[in-house]
Structure 1
Amino acid sequence: MKHARIRYQGEVHAVTVEADNAVRLADGRLLGEHEVEWLPPAAGTMFALGLNYADHAAELAFKAPTEPLAFIKSKGTYTGHNQVTWRPDNVAYMHYECELVAVIGKPARNVKREDALAYLAGYTVCNDYAIRDYLENYYRPNLRVKNRDATTPVGPWIVDAADVADPSQLKLRTWVNGELKQEGTTADMIFDIPYLIEYFSSFMTLQPGDMIATGTPEGLADVVPGDEVVVEVEGVGRLVNRIVSEAEFFANRARV
């Protein structure tokens, strides 16, 4: 089953998703994908992984890490399916990152690898945009690279964990304006989801709604205002986002 959060007629609803991405409200009404505003399906802390695919590390001329390289994304960075993201003025390179996201379903502390998947609510997708101009060190991205307002599309929904038979065997793809730009598989993760749950829960308690964004494979490219970027994880979801200029984004926000 797929679970989503949407806004309709000014109210936020927790919904189930049916055929053709239609959503079912609690009162039984069925609404089409483009009749609603899609919100991020989870709103906890996001723990994001850097260089978690060997091919991506090689693409950037880095050695594969021997321990997870993790950073935290603030809730203000999240945006939803079919929403917009902005490219700052006067930057040279902004790229997408298609990622499988594991969503925690119950408090997890000192979880063993063999039990880890039992702590998941399910899986979603994110596009972890980055501004390469601001990057000082790939091993520890600074805040301007990864923590800007509305620059991490998440969604469209959470797929129940039981409905994804093997999260380590899923294809990831990114299209820009309909052209396939990135393709990989979660089989190439350096640190898989059970390992990451064990790792994070060994020193902190993961809470329901927290997310682990598991990194991206090779195949990055620059994106500019006007581009439509679609990221997809096999069996989980297809997440659509459009790039606008900094001026357009903040002008529209001021009108809301």
Structure 2
Amino acid sequence: MKLLRYGPLGQEKPGVLDADGKIRDLSGHVADIAGEVLSPKGLQALKAIDPASLPVVGGEQRYGSPVAGVSKILCIGLNYSDHAAETGAEPPSEPIIFTKQINALCGPNDEVEQPRGSDALDWEVELAVIIGSRAKYVSQSDAMDYVAGFAVMNDVSERTFQTKRQGQWTKGKSHDTFGPLGPWLVTKDEVADPHALDMWLDVNGERRQTGNTNTLIFNVPHVVSYCSQFMTLMPGDVITTGTPPGVGMGMKPPQYLKVGDVMTLGIAGLGEQKQTVVAARD
């Protein structure tokens, strides 16, 4: 299934994408794509619904984040061998975990704000893992049992804030709109191998990133299990797993986003996103 949330910001309704690419309204069955809805039992109940029995949602619709009730966004740094090489960093011996604050989460085609004082706004196409069940101290062999599905994320980053303003990476990752997610959550049964997905990102129509999840250093079960050793993962939590090479910081000389630039990005089978950069709002 391709589960989604549609409608104005703050008023999103749950939906599912049918085989013809039409949005079908799920609000008669679930309040939102969140909590127990993401559990194996909840997803099985949704799968049993005939999409043709659901109302068609007409007209142009804004996509929101495909999951609600997110308690945390965890990010894995330098998790692609070819991206680590372009930054000049040694591949990590353990997953590097940092956080992106919840206020960063937004729809896949929402505008991305350039923060005040920003001079190094960057892009990162990433495979996001959506947790479906409470996970604490899970093994790698069992980790996929706790995954609801996958989505595209643009891990938008401000490199000056991230690397030159002291402290953790979080303040370079957490401005409003720095976490476009979606357009939908693709349930794991429809992703044959999350470690064989082509991914790409363009800026103003020019290819910047081309990669494949087969160059992940730490795969999805490893990352889910590892994170669960340090904190309890809850339904709806997002783990974004790293980016392939081609980020602005890695270019020679570095190239960064400015107001008016347009990012388009996608992952095979998981959909595409498009964002325009705008000046930060109050």
TM-score of the superposition, structure 2-length normalised? 0.81
Match of 2:24 in 1: 24
Question: What secondary structure sits across from 1:4 in the alignment?
Answer: strand
Where does residue 38 of structure 1 map in the other structure? 63
Aligned equivalents of 2:266, 2:246: Cα separation in 1: 14
Correspondence 1:132-151 to 2 at 5 A: 132-136=159-163, 141-151=168-178
Give the Cα–Cα distance (whole angstroms) in 1 for the partners of residues 142 and 63 of structure 2: 32
**For each residue in 1:101-149, what CA deviation from the matched residue of structure 2 results, as whole angstroms up to 9, or x when unmatched?**
0101111122111121121110011101111122337xx7433210111
Question: Is the contact between residue 99 and residue 170 of structure 2 (CA under 8 Å) also seen in structure 1?
Answer: no
Q: 2:271 aligns with which of 227, 230, 237?
A: 237
Once the two structures are TM-superposed, the CA of residue 10 in structure 1 deviates from its matched residue by 7.6
Q: Is the 8 A contact 2:110 2:177 kept in 1?
A: no
5 Å-filtered alignment, 1:70-81, equals 70-81=97-108
- Aligned partner of 1:7 in structure 2 is 7
Partner of 2:196: 169
Mark the CA change 1:227 to 1:31 in structure 2 (over 3 Å): closer, same or farther: farther
Counterpart-to-counterpart distance in 2, 1:9 and 1:163: 28
Q: Distance in 2 between matches of 1:19 and 1:182?
A: 29
Q: Aligned-pair distance for 1:8?
A: 5.4
Within the alignment, does 1:120 sit opposite 2:147 as a pair?
yes
> Which letter maps to 1:176?
V
Secondary structure of the corresponding residue to residue 82 of structure 1: coil
Identify the residue that residue 254 of structure 1 maps to in structure 2: none
Identity %: 35
- Other-structure match for 2:184: 157
- Residues 162-241 of structure 1 mapped to structure 2, 5 A cutoff: 162-221=189-248, 222-241=256-275
- The answer to whether the 8 A contact 2:126-2:243 is kept is yes
| Change beyond 3 A, Cα 1:25–1:141 | same
Aligned counterparts of 2:10 and 2:224: Cα–Cα separation in 1: 36
Q: State the TM-score, normalizing by the size of structure 1.
A: 0.89
Indicate the SS of the match to 1:156.
Answer: coil
Runs of 5+ unmatched residues, structure 2: 29-53, 249-255
- Equivalent position amino acid for 2:263 in 1: V
- The more displaced of 186-195 and 42-51 is 42-51
Q: Which moved more, 1:120-129 or 1:109-118?
A: 109-118
- 1:40: how far off? 0.9
Deviation at 1:206, TM superposition (A): 1.0
| Residue equivalent to 2:48 | none
Aligned-residue offset at 1:99: 0.2
SS at match of 2:176: coil
Matched position secondary structure for 2:97: strand
The one-letter code of the counterpart of 2:262 is E
- The 1:152–1:9 alpha-carbon spacing in structure 2 relative to 1, beyond 3 Å, is closer
Q: Which moved more, 1:199-208 or 1:18-27?
A: 18-27
